[in-house]
Amino acid sequence: RKEVEQDPGPFNVPEGATVAFNCTYSNSASQSFFWYRQDCRKEPKLLMSVYSSGNEDGRFTAQLNRASQYISLLIRDSKLSDSATYLCVVNVDGANNLFFGTGTRLTVIP
Amino acid sequence: DTAVSQTPKYLVTQMGNDKSIKCEQNLGHDTMYWYKQDSKKFLKIMFSYNNKELIINETVPNRFSPKSPDKAHLNLHINSLELGDSAVYFCASSQFSNYGYTFGSGTRLTVV
């Protein structure tokens, strides 16, 4: 079983739509959680950390559900520039080792 | 002012050759990593060094040998390259993993 699993998509949504991605992780001892964004042929970049109480950064909201072992990312008022692959990332064992999901591809359509 | 820089950006080479990829970070981070992203876009850790010491060595063929001359540099040497080694290799650094990583721009390796 993979450490981190997420729906690969693709998600094709119109501009202005709200879209949500979920990701599940297998190790209940996981400690740190992140969403990264990766544009085509570019490196992954940290979008936001995910805190237990949930957190928001502008149009982006991240939630953590430890009981069900999933994290989510909500994007409101989608922009064309949001088109990218969104990677769910989990620190599983407390060491300096992050496990990446395979990514969810989002395309925002004019 | 690039935080994590790796060279070369592109590398095309024949099977059986030996090649190196260099990585440097100017963030003052203690830990550096090599990740491999295959054709299916899956990012998998290969190695991790903390203050020049190897702390993670995933199941990677011993043709791959990392070297960290100091905590700002982590190079990757690959011997006897095979077709299956074709991928994008990302270097990254972090101070603490719960702060996330900063990635280099990647080296696209193509073995022909």
Query: What is the reported pLDDT for A97?
Result: 74
pLDDT at B66: 93
Cβ contact (<8 Å) for A45 and B103? yes
Q: How many C-beta atoms surround the C-beta of residue A14 within 10 A?
A: 10
pLDDT score of B80: 97
User: What's the whole-number average pLDDT of chain B?
Assistant: 91
φ, ψ at B108 (rounded to 5°): -90, 105
Q: What percent of chain B has pLDDT over 90?
A: 69
Tell me whether A96 touches chain B (CB under 8 Å).
yes
Tens digit of each residue's pLDDT (9 = 90 or more) over A63-100:
999 999 999 999 999 999 999 999 999 987 666 678 89
Query: What tens digit of pLDDT does each residue of B73-101 get?
Result: 999 999 999 999 999 999 999 987 567 89
Rg of chain B over Cα atoms, rounded to whole angstroms, equals 13
Structure tokens at A67: 């009981």
pLDDT for position B98:
64
Closest residue to B94, CB basis, from A44, A87, A96: A96
**Is residue B31 within 8 Å of residue B52, measured between CB atoms?**
no
Contact A49 B97 (CB under 8 A): no
Burial class for B5, CB neighbours closer than 10 Å (0-12, 13-18, 19+): middle
pLDDT tens-place string over residues A7-62: 888 999 999 999 999 999 998 888 889 999 999 999 999 999 998 888 999 999 99
- Output the CA–CA distances (angstroms, integers) from residue B97 to A6, A36, A90, A96, B13, in the order listed: 21, 14, 10, 5, 34
List strand residue ranges (DSSP E) for chain A, in order. 4-6, 11-14, 19-25, 32-38, 45-50, 55-57, 60-65, 70-75, 84-91, 98-100, 104-109
* Beta-carbon contacts below 8 Å between A and B: 59
- CA distances (Å), origin A40, targets A1, A84, A105, B6: 27, 7, 10, 18
